[in-house]
Each structure stands twice: as C-alpha cells, then as structure tokens.
Amino acid sequence: MRRLLAVLTLVLLGAKSFVAAQTTPASAASPAPRPPWIVKSDANADVLLKAFARFSPEGAGQIGVSGLDEQVLDLQPRLYERRDAATREALASTKDQIEGDALSRKYELTYFDVPLTIFRGLHALLDDQIAPERRAAALVRLKKYAGDVPGTTPLTVLAEQRMRERLGEASLLGPPRAEVEKNLGNTAFYLDGIEKLFQKYQVAGYEAPLARLKTQVAAYNEFVKGTILPRSRTDFRLPPEVYRSRLKNYGVDMAPEALADRARVSYVEIRNEMRAIAPLVAKEKGFTVTDYRDVLRALKKDQIVGEAILPHYQQRLASLEEIIRRERVVSLPTRPAQIKLASEAESAAQPAPNMRPPRLIGNTGERGTFLLPLRVPTTSASGSEVKSSRPVPATSCSSPPSSRRASPRPAPCSPSTASTSRAGPSTWKRR
C-alpha cells in the first residue's frame, strides 16, 4: 500500500474534489476556472485516495484526508484479495504496485509490527500541529485498536490471524531475524510513548483501553517469539525477482547487477578521496595517525552529547543558510526551520535524523519538522536493555516498516527530550 501512496503523491496537489470540505478560499473572489488537466488530475487522485484510505486510514489522515480520524488499519479476513482488487481498480494503468504485492505474497511470510503501527496511528492525531478538536479522536482509535468498540476486533488478534493463514507454507521466507528482535525490543518504548502522548494532550479516558492494549500486545509478542521468530532468517538478501521489483518501485530502473557494479566503483573513488584527505585532516587536528580509518576513529571520539545536539544543528543550519543566501543558490523562507529533539518512542520507530512532513492536503500552515534522536533505545527481544546506542548519521533515515508485505520499503526516525533514558544518553559525531 505504500507503493500506492508513492503513486498518489504525484497527483495530490490537484486532489481537491475528494477533500473540498477541508479547504477554505483565500478570498471571497470567485476562483478562476480550473484547466482541464487539473480536473483530470483531481479525478485520478480521488480514485487513489479512496483506495488508500480504505485500507490505511491512519496514513491517509496524515496526508490530509478528512473524516478518518477514528478509523484504523484494515486487517480483516481476505486482506490480500480485497486490497489487490482495490489496487487493480485504482491503478488500472500501472502494473508496478500489483506486481510488487504479488511477489511479496509469492516469496514472503506475512509479518506485521503491530506496536509500531499503533504508535504511529495515535501519534498522527496527538501532535502539536493537529487541531485540538481532532485529538479526541485518538481515544476512539485507541479503543478500536484494543477491540473496545462494538463490532471491532483487537488489531493484535487480526494481525495474528493474517500471519497464521500462511504459516503452513514452508517455502515462504520469514522476516529478517534482526528486524523481528528489534521490533520486539521496541515495544515498551512505543507503549510508554503512547501513554505520554495522551498525558501531554490531556485526552481523558485512555487508561483502561491502554491497559487492555498492553495485555494484548504482550500476548501478541509471545506469539511472534514462539512462531515468527523461529521462522525468521539471518540472511537479509531477497530473491532477485523481489529485489528488482522493489528497486523499481523506488524509481530505480537499472538492473541490480549494473547498480552493484556502479556502487563498487563509487566506493573505490570515495575511498581514494578519503585516503588523500585523511592526512590533511590529521595535520589540522593534531592526530598522529594518517590512515583514513584511524582518522575516522579519532574524529568519532569528539562527540556531541545530549542537550547540546539541538543547538549544534541549529548553528550549522544557520551557517548553511547564510552561504545559500549569499551565493544565491536557491531562495529560502525567512522563518527558521522547525527542529526538535525526538522522544524515545519516535527514536525507536526511526533511529536517525528525519523530517516529519506536514499534511499535503488541506494544509492550513502546518510545517515539516526535523526530528533529532536525543537517545536511541536499544533493547533485546525480551525488552531488557542491551546497550546505549548512538544515532545513525544524518545521511540515513530509514527503519523497518510496520508491515513487510504491505510496506516493503523502509519506513519513514523517533525518544523524550528531557527524561532519563533507559538506553542512556546518545552522542553525536561533530560535523
């Protein structure tokens, strides 16, 4: 379904007919007639938005589709067949989405990271830039996740049912073991993060459904440990056919073999550049070593710790913006960038610097926010602490998806700014 969202993004700016109730005219003047191509784009967007919203209302709500705040992820029976039919109808002229889902089903065991899905679904409503009147819907969504609303089934139960449906197919690849263990270890951070969000935004009545959800998640994790973890794999490599398809859905049409060859050449070129620069850096810093690997190790010893991370980023960004304006590289807004330190739960969801985008539809001034992990929680599958973990450099911004089959690409990084971390303070390499 994330591939459907990728296609959808191409037509969102013209998607007004489906979300007309959300937009407010800038003035009382009659709008100019829309060109035919925009009318056609609106119609295309309607189809894609409806298909996306039907199965992933949390995600559709995040991009601005109204009326979905109380809806939750669809994991009802015959999920694959129903979603495939909707996708075929919505993307009649595009085969990549259908092909990718079919390959995932052909080769891979169904697996969901339910705690992450629930955290993201609630965080989408409990946020500083969400209107206060919408935040109350988070309680309804929480109750539906826990099966506390008549006619609903706990999401953990539905996920287990979908995963059990294909356990008998021995040829299917299980999820990477490291991914499953990381997801199990992150559960406590997500549940703690959910409670803190309800407390922060003062949404009353969450205690009982959250307590039931915690019990359900514990049972779900036991199922994952006993059933999915034994089927997990230590080899991260994908079948060539699947890997090729996923590259294509990222926009890479090059054959994997050619891409790998180009990557090796680039690696050699970068390594040679580092070999040439390392002695100069060592001289400037007063290091006694000159090999690029040793220089890197020496540089990593100089770290930025804890609360000093955010001011360092802000200062660096201001310096870059000054250069951009002076050299007239590109125009920049006059307002400062919105940067904040992430919570433990956010860092567990995506343990690298990242940008949380605003909604694309019906935006009334919401801005993208850059998140910096202050601490990166690292736990074992049992939930016990393993070690303090350093954040990934800012060039990386991906984490395991909440559903491997429904979302084969790495998902769009997220811990509390002033609390004591179970994982200890993280440190950042100076740049």
Whether 122 and 217 map to the same domain: the answer is yes
Q: pTM for this structure?
A: 0.71
179, 198, 230 - which closes a domain = 230
4 CB-side CA count, 13 A? 30
Give residue-wise pLDDT tens across range 121-171.
999 999 999 999 999 999 999 999 999 999 999 999 999 999 999 999 999
**Number of domain units in the chain:** 3
Same domain, 287 and 357: no
Whether residue 339 contacts residue 311, with contact meaning beta carbons closer than 8 Å, is answered with no
Which one of 301, 333, 354 terminates a domain?
301
Q: Where are the beta strands (DSSP E) in 190-307?
A: 303-305
Phi first, then psi: give them for residue 109, nearest 5 degrees.
-70, 140
Is residue 16 located within the same domain as residue 165? yes
Judge if 261 and 190 occupy the same domain: no
Residue 400 has pLDDT above 60, yes or no: no
| Statement to judge: residues 45 and 106 lie in one domain | yes
Q: Give yes or no: residues 201 and 271 share one domain.
A: no
**Shortest CA distance to 125 belongs to which of 70, 189, 44?**
70
Q: Name which of 62, 34, 65 is nearest 49 in CA terms.
A: 65
What is the residue range of 251's domain? 238-301
CA–CA distance from 295 to each of 289, 394, 426 (Å)?
A: 6, 20, 21
- Judgement on whether residues 183 and 315 belong to the same structural domain of the protein: no
For 283-335, the pLDDT digits (tens) are 999 999 999 999 999 999 988 877 788 899 899 999 999 999 999 999 998 88
- For the record, the structure tokens of 104 come out as 């995932």
Q: How many CB atoms lie within 10 A of CB 361?
A: 20
Domain final position from 230, 253, 273: 230
Q: Domain check: are 193 and 100 in the same one?
A: yes
Q: Are residues 133 and 249 in the same domain?
A: no
Please indicate, yes or no, whether residues 308 and 297 belong to a single structural domain of this protein: no
pLDDT band at 407 (very low <50, low <70, confident <90, very high): very low
* Residue with tokens 């001289």, as numbered in its chain: 283
pLDDT for 95-104, tens place per residue?
A: 556 677 789 8
Measured CA to CA, the distance from residue 20 to residue 326 in angstroms comes to 41
Contacts of 286 (CB under 8 A, 6+ apart): none
Q: Which of 350, 347, 339 is nearest to 316 (CA)?
A: 339
Residues 245 and 140 in one domain: no
Q: What are phi and psi of 332, to 5 degrees?
A: -125, 150
Q: Would the pLDDT of 403 be above 50? A: no
Task: Express each pLDDT in 34-62 by its tens digit.
Answer: 788 777 777 777 777 777 777 888 887 77
Same domain, 245 and 355: no
What share of the chain in percent tops pLDDT 90? 50
Q: Are strands 303-305 and 369-373 parallel, antiparallel or unpaired?
A: unpaired
User: What is the SS3 assignment for 383?
Assistant: coil
Alpha-carbon gap, residue 310 to 293, rounded angstroms: 28
